[in-house]
Amino acid sequence: LQRMLSIAVEVDKSPNCSSCKIADVIFPFILNIPLRSQREAFLNTMESQLLRCKLLELLFQHSCDVPTTLPLSLAKILYFLSHSSMLLQYQDDTATWQRWDEMLQYLSLLLMSYQNVRQPAACCLFPTLFPLAEHLRSSLNDRMDLIIQKAKPKLQDSDDISHVDIQLKIEDLISRMQQVLGQPFPLQITEKLCMLR
């Protein structure tokens, strides 16, 4: 399935558009996956970083009280930090801290996937293993040309965030969590906050 989804993203002239369309179709099914372990297995095994980004973006938009119109970017991920409250259909019987733990897990996964879409480090370290791992929003033909030209992936304005922005959003998230969970946080939450930071 993951191989088929990855190919489906790549066959279009615009992987960005095809990943959006596929994510729109798959998203209702993700909402109906009953177990966290199953949701994580599906998302963690995705071969297409771009499709994973789109699905996680939809998941967080769905969990925001006030959805944002920002394009997928670092600024949007910071927005999710402040406005998401993960509650999926099958989480009603789940302990509150475990819902937050799942949200932090998906935020980290979104951030890592977006970094790979935006400017993957793997290309620099293993260029022979990942010859087409850059410019994931471009078609395969255009991607080849861009890599040959050694063109850098274009950054969006909303990718320009500061350390202060990050610190403020993390502090805001911790404050929200303290109101709900109290202190001290469970060890899993503390570890995920450190990883996210």
- pLDDT (tens digit per residue) in 155-170: 667 777 888 988 888 8
Residues 153 and 118: beta-carbon distance below 8 Å: yes
Residues 56 and 49: beta-carbon distance below 8 Å: no
14 closest CA partner among 159, 152, 141:
141
Q: What are the tens digits of pLDDT across the range 58-98? A: 999 988 888 888 888 888 888 988 888 766 666 666 778 88
Distance CA 54, CA 179 (A): 30
Higher pLDDT among residues 112 and 140, named by residue: 112
Distance CA 93, CA 56 (A): 22
Distance CA 164, CA 59 (A): 26
Q: Is 187 exposed, middle or buried (0-12, 13-18, 19+ CB in 10 A)?
A: exposed
Q: What are the tens digits of pLDDT across the range 20-37? A: 899 999 999 998 888 889
Residue written as tokens 């979104």? 110
Residue written as tokens 């480090």? 121
Domain boundaries, the chain: 1-196
Element (H, E) at 43: helix 36-44
% of residues, the chain, pLDDT over 90: 19
